[in-house]
Amino acid sequence: MIKESVLKTDDSVYRQQVAAGDYFIKVVKKDQTFRILDIEGNQAADTLFYNANDPAERYSAMDTIREQGNVYLTAGTKLLSNENNVMLEIVADTCGRHDTLGGACATESNTVRYALEKKCMHACRDSWMLAVAENEEYGLSKRDISHNINFFMNVPVTSEGGLSFEDGISGSGKYVEMKANMDTIILLSNCPQLNNPCNGYNPTPVEVIIWD
């Protein structure tokens, strides 16, 4: 569902560009709103969320999908934790649909999907591994790397049970905005994947913008 935001970037309290292949980690406070902006279009932002006060509570794709009865995420979606609490709610979305089935790319899964020789191509999980290693204060490790959201990514499922990675439905300037229902760690990898259309074969920066 397309729903535009009423927030103005001039009123924001924080702005940070994230280059393709980099990670972003930060706590958003309860009742803050944050936006992920697809600056140039067709850029997947692989994202995980944790309760900042108890990171064992984290975003759960299964619980979110089942409780809303739909596999796609958009405005109105409540992002649930593994304890079935609402962590965030998507309050604006100009893309219309986001994926939470496809998971993140990893060097190991790239060997299966594309070729064993592609094991040294940069991948989202490597960005997350570096993020948890460089930011020990969050207390995260590989154990915490779970089933994520792919903002701006298009992974259609057919009624016969097929699933594919299609050209993005996002475009330059499209965004998704969430309001935090608890203090939440955002762990985002701006996807470096070059082997499928999720980034239009040309990964580009995204921007994170936060409002009080």
Partner 1 sequence: MTMASLKAEAGTILYEDRLAAGCHWSIRMRKGSVLKLIDEEGGANVGMLFYNPENLLERYNAPDTLKCQHTFKLTKGNCLYSDMGRIFCSIIEDTVGWHETVCGNTTRQMIKEKWAEKTYQHHHNDWNQNGYDSFLIELAKYGLGKKDMASNLNLFSAVSVNAEGALQYTEANSKAGDSIELRFEMDTLVLMHTCPHPLNTAADYPKKAVRYQLIQGAEVQKDDYCLNFREENGRGFKNNEIFHLSGACCHD
Nearer residue to partner 1 within complex by CB, 32 or 195? 195
Nearer residue to partner 1 within complex by CB, 83 or 134? 83
Q: How far is the CB of 147 from partner 1 (least distance, A)?
A: 5
> To which residue do tokens 């948890």 refer?
132
Nearer residue to partner 1 within complex by CB, 104 or 209? 104
Burial 78-117 (b: 16+ CB within 10 A, else e): bbbbbeeeebbbbbbbbbbbbbbbbbbbbbeebeeebeee
How buried is 27 (Cβ within 10 angstroms: 0-12 exposed, 13-18 middle, 19+ buried)? middle
CA distance 31 to 26: 15
Q: How far is the CB of 88 from partner 1 (least distance, A)?
A: 18
Nearer residue to partner 1 within complex by CB, 13 or 62? 62
Q: How far is the CB of 6 from partner 1 (least distance, A)?
A: 26
Under DSSP, the state recorded for 8 is -
Q: How far is the CB of 15 from partner 1 (least distance, A)?
A: 30
Nearer residue to partner 1 within complex by CB, 123 or 186? 123
Under DSSP, the state recorded for 29 is P
Q: Residue 177 is encoded by which pair of tokens?
A: 């905005």
Nearer residue to partner 1 within complex by CB, 94 or 110? 110
CA distance 183 to 194: 34
Which residues contact partner 1 (rule: CB under 8 A)? 56, 58, 60-63, 65-66, 69-72, 82, 84, 97, 101-104, 106, 108-113, 115-116, 142-148, 155, 157-159, 161-165
The CA distances from residue 166 to 10, 44, 102, 183, in Å, are: 34, 12, 11, 34
CA distance 149 to 166: 16
Q: How far is the CB of 138 from partner 1 (least distance, A)?
A: 13
Q: How far is the CB of 145 from partner 1 (least distance, A)?
A: 8
